[in-house]
Amino acid sequence: MKWIGLTGGIGSGKSTVAEILRNNGIDVIDADAVAREVTEKSGPGFGPVVSAFGKEVVNLQGGLDRRRLGEIVFSDKKKLEKLEGILHPLVKERVAKLRTDLEKKGKRFAVYDVPLLFEKNMQGQFSDIIVVSCSVETQVMRSLARGTLEEKEIRSRISAQIPLSQKVKNANYVIANEGTREDLEEQVEELVKKLK
């Protein structure tokens, strides 16, 4: 099965591209969704994350306070590495199972939506890589519009990732996302034709 990586940066529109791919019948596995799954209260990552970062990362409902955890890890590279050391093996194991399930179903290809594809040197795992790109200011504007993070937090997350301009240089396909939703849909639909 052809395994295609999809990456970008916070606010680049990567999740929207993944949604458009799904709407076009493409199987997409979302690394962030898998990470959320493994850190649910009943998930294998919850206990280790709380042990590593303390009760301050537990919300009032007893689940993981993702915003607080983000504040901690995105301001300290060592703590981010610690979190990744806990979560990445669990995510990798779960994704391998999902990928195997798709292969058993006879799928010709699937897309893995993974924000840290280049940061974690995963490019060798993929037959092709799609990068969703836009300007830093567009990333900040879109992320602010979501209303979940403040500008300082957004810029901290952007600086923790390889710049999109560098990611683009290592992509097989680039989706420039500075326009409208319709522009984006057209680009993705053209890409789907090439991939099939």
Each residue's pLDDT tens digit, 92-137 = 999 999 999 999 999 999 999 998 899 989 999 999 999 999 999 9
What local confidence, expressed as pLDDT, does residue 196 receive?
79
What local confidence, expressed as pLDDT, does residue 79 receive?
96
Q: What are phi and psi of 149, to 5 degrees?
A: -130, 150
What local confidence, expressed as pLDDT, does residue 195 receive?
86
Is 185 found in the same domain as 115? yes
Chain mean position to CA 125: 16
Are the C-beta atoms of 193 and 44 separated by less than 8 Å?
A: no
Is 62 found in the same domain as 126? no
Is 190 found in the same domain as 121? yes
Name the domain boundary from 71, 86, 106: 106
First and final C-alpha spacing in the chain: 12
Cα separation, 121 vs 111, whole angstroms? 17
Is 135 found in the same domain as 181? yes
Domain residues for 112? 1-27+108-196
DSSP letters for 33-98: HHHHHHTSTTSTTHHHHHHHH-GGGB-TTSSB-HHHHHHHHTT-HHHHHHHHHHHHHHHHHHHHHH
pLDDT tens-digit readout, 22-80: 999 999 999 999 999 999 999 999 999 999 999 999 999 999 999 899 999 988 989 99
Mean pLDDT over all residues of the chain?
95
What local confidence, expressed as pLDDT, does residue 49 receive?
98
Instruction: Give the residue among 154, 8, 164 at the shortest CA–CA distance from 71.
Output: 154
What local confidence, expressed as pLDDT, does residue 75 receive?
84
Is 23 found in the same domain as 82? no
What local confidence, expressed as pLDDT, does residue 183 receive?
97
Stated as kind and residue range, the H or E segment containing 145 is helix 136-146
CATH classification at residue 178: 3.40.50.300
Is 71 found in the same domain as 114? no
Is 138 found in the same domain as 113? yes
- For the chain, how many structural domains are there in total? 2
β 109-113/2-7 pair status: parallel
Is 123 found in the same domain as 154? yes
What local confidence, expressed as pLDDT, does residue 148 receive?
86
Is 75 found in the same domain as 129? no
Is 52 found in the same domain as 22? no
Name the domain boundary from 82, 106, 130: 106
Asked whether residue 16 carries a pLDDT value surpassing 90, the answer given is: yes
Asked whether residue 156 carries a pLDDT value surpassing 90, the answer given is: no
Is 19 found in the same domain as 113? yes
What local confidence, expressed as pLDDT, does residue 160 receive?
83
Kindly report the pTM of this predicted structure.
0.87
pLDDT tens-digit readout, 172-195: 999 999 999 999 999 999 999 998
pLDDT tens-digit readout, 141-153: 999 999 888 999 8
Name the domain boundary from 71, 88, 106: 106
Is 145 found in the same domain as 135? yes
What local confidence, expressed as pLDDT, does residue 95 receive?
96
